[in-house]
Structure 1
Amino acid sequence: MSDANLAAATAQIEAVRRGDKPAPMIRSFFDEPTNTATHVVHDPATLEAAVIDSVLDYEAASGRTSHSTAQQVVDYARGHGLNVVWQLETHAHADHLSAAPWLQEQLGGKLAIGAGIVVVQDVFGKIFNAGTAFQRDGSQFDRLFNDGDRFSIGGIEAIALHVPGHTPADMAYVIGDVAFVGDTMFMPDYGTARADFPGGDARELYRSIRRLLSLPRETKLFLCHDYKAPGRDYYAWETTVGAERDGNLHVHDGVSENDFVAMRTSRDATLSLPKLIMPSVQVNMRGGHLPEAEDNGVQYIKIPVNRL
């Protein structure tokens, strides 16, 4: 990963803080059943917007989908006259299904994810025996970001940073003077993401986190999940680089890479798989689309037995 790209992100943040560049406005929506925070970011001058990590409601027992959570995003965007130009995914989630294709139908916007999605597609395409019809080239997405790629939301500048470890495809998006860091880390009192999924790596995760924590201390970080740490009775998904460096349970300043890897490896060995991992990964590796219907016109989610 290039230090030049981190330096560019830092310069962008500092320019916004000086008032030389515009700052984004942010509205978050929290889905308690999946513990997921969806963020809508927009430029107040142009009203162009991005939706980050949307949620499709999925009832596991019946296999039914619905859009009540995503509808909140639609209502907010329409109510504020927003023009959605991006549907951003920080990674191929294993704990909720993406609503990006439905939101594209309602609001528009290009669907984007990290270029590492092709690794995820290759690994999980084999696990789910997706067959040759399933393209493993990221073509289900409109854009695949590499580390340092620039984009914009109206007059708000943004830069994508590759932060692998939780999965090979994880991206953080520095938009104006804030960063959307996906599952790399959680609130300081809860710690960090697991790294034991196929393609995950605790050592890479440590380096990705420390890279993000090299951004200016005042930088706001918006997280993808919260689970209420012991002793905290409310959900939270916004913190700062400084708060994470000073107090993150797993990776605060002073925690060495080897100590983190030992802790993360030991902890991950005790964790159960996310309850929606089977439908989530099959859908999200397809850009939020359900698998193709079979010859009876029905779409199916596969459950590999004794595989994961």
Structure 2
Amino acid sequence: MEPLVHSIFEPQTSTWQYVVADPTTKAAVIIDPVLDFDPARNAVTTASADALLALVHEHGYTVDRLLETHVHADHLTAAKYLQHRLAESQGAERRPALGIGKRIGGVQERFAEKYKIAKEELEGAFDKLYDDDEVFAVGELEAKAVHLPGHTPDHMGYLIGANIFCGDSIFNADVGSARCDFPGGNADDLFKTATKLFTLPSHYLLHTGHDYPPSPRSTPLAATSVADQMASNKHLSQGTSKEEFVAWRTERDASLAAPRLIDQALQVNIRGGGMPRDGLLHMPVKVEEGW
């Protein structure tokens, strides 16, 4: 039995969000939800997250879990907001657990130091830390947490039926691969992750975390098959050597600017989508030589 997969694109950050449900029990999970943020006003709004809630309500789903593939550097997660709203609508006893991979502690420690975040603000940010290859249930469906490092060291994917929600580990074939220059990222690890994904059955679908449609394609695409990726991924198709990929990815990453919302995103996302207790996000300032 296969899950029902709802793919919802958030255009401001080019992020794919997913609601994945068991068609029999109507149990569901939400993967990588987006909290809207306007940097010009430093304002958080919830239109994207509210659209997910409306979809859940429309289909009669009960959300058991909120799943993050990793600590995103390009958008703020709506997980904490959704958890609060779903606890209101489903009842406190059906409050969905917020989960991420077990390596989150090292990521939190690194960025808490950078942004001067007190340790107690991070305690209990996530309810569930998934082990590598840990199996869990989505209603009557079996799901598995899969470690997919490279883009970040904590990166996880979630295998549900013939679908793996692989976040930023690999993009659509005409986009290629994600950057590996964030702390703990590693191009060699990303190549191994792609190799691991390509061992899945050829008809399995890889559901990406983002899409940046290149010309002539103009419509965002959520998923492609393992077979399609192996045949035509512009960075990682069959025949690409590890040495070739690592050299290209390293050179490419050295030329990339930081994501537009990186400082805001990291401070909120290591809190699981929670806001700072003092209401302040700390923004590092780079002082140029000669100022």
Q: What TM-score comes out, normalization by structure 1 length?
A: 0.88
Q: In 2, distance between residues paired with 1:122 and 1:147?
A: 21
Q: In 2, distance between residues paired with 1:128 and 1:263?
A: 31
Aligned to 2:117: 130
The counterpart of 2:99, out of the listed 112, 116, 120, is 112
Assess if the C-alpha contact under 8 Å between 1:125 and 1:134 holds in 2: no
Alignment of 1:54-73 (within 5 A): 54-73=33-52
Aligned to 1:305: 285
Q: Is structure 2 residue 24 aligned with structure 1 residue 37?
A: no
Q: Does the residue aligned with 1:282 lie in a helix, a strand or coil?
A: helix
Cα RMSD between the aligned structures?
1.2
Assess if the C-alpha contact under 8 Å between 1:77 and 1:83 holds in 2: yes
The counterpart of 2:58, out of the listed 67, 79, 92, is 79
Once the two structures are TM-superposed, the CA of residue 232 in structure 1 deviates from its matched residue by 1.5
Once the two structures are TM-superposed, the CA of residue 109 in structure 1 deviates from its matched residue by 1.3
Q: Does the residue aligned with 1:56 lie in a helix, a strand or coil?
A: strand
Q: In 2, distance between residues paired with 1:199 and 1:119?
A: 10
Assess if the C-alpha contact under 8 Å between 2:151 and 2:169 holds in 1: yes
Question: How many residue pairs were aligned?
Answer: 279
Q: Does the residue aligned with 2:229 lie in a helix, a strand or coil?
A: helix
Once the two structures are TM-superposed, the CA of residue 212 in structure 1 deviates from its matched residue by 1.0
Alignment of 1:16-27 (within 5 A): 22-27=1-6
Assess if the C-alpha contact under 8 Å between 2:3 and 2:161 holds in 1: yes
Aligned to 1:283: 268
Q: Does the residue aligned with 2:74 lie in a helix, a strand or coil?
A: coil
Q: Is structure 2 residue 226 aligned with structure 1 residue 238?
A: no
Q: In 1, distance between residues paired with 2:109 and 2:125?
A: 14
Assess if the C-alpha contact under 8 Å between 1:55 and 1:97 holds in 2: yes
Aligned to 1:9: none
Once the two structures are TM-superposed, the CA of residue 133 in structure 1 deviates from its matched residue by 3.3
Moved over 6 A (4+): none
Aligned to 2:91: none
Alignment of 1:214-225 (within 5 A): 214-225=199-210
The counterpart of 2:78, out of the listed 89, 94, 99, is 99
Q: In 2, distance between residues paired with 1:240 and 1:117?
A: 29
Q: In 1, distance between residues paired with 2:236 and 2:107?
A: 26
Once the two structures are TM-superposed, the CA of residue 131 in structure 1 deviates from its matched residue by 3.2
Q: Does the residue aligned with 1:23 lie in a helix, a strand or coil?
A: coil
The counterpart of 1:160, out of the listed 133, 138, 145, is 145
Q: Which runs of 5+ in 2 are unaligned?
A: 87-94
Q: Which moved more, 1:121-130 or 1:217-226?
A: 121-130
Q: Does the residue aligned with 1:133 lie in a helix, a strand or coil?
A: helix
Q: What TM-score comes out, normalization by structure 2 length?
A: 0.93
Assess if the C-alpha contact under 8 Å between 1:223 and 1:238 holds in 2: yes
Q: In 1, distance between residues paired with 2:109 and 2:242?
A: 29
Give the AA of the match of 1:183.
Answer: D
Q: Does the residue aligned with 1:46 lie in a helix, a strand or coil?
A: coil
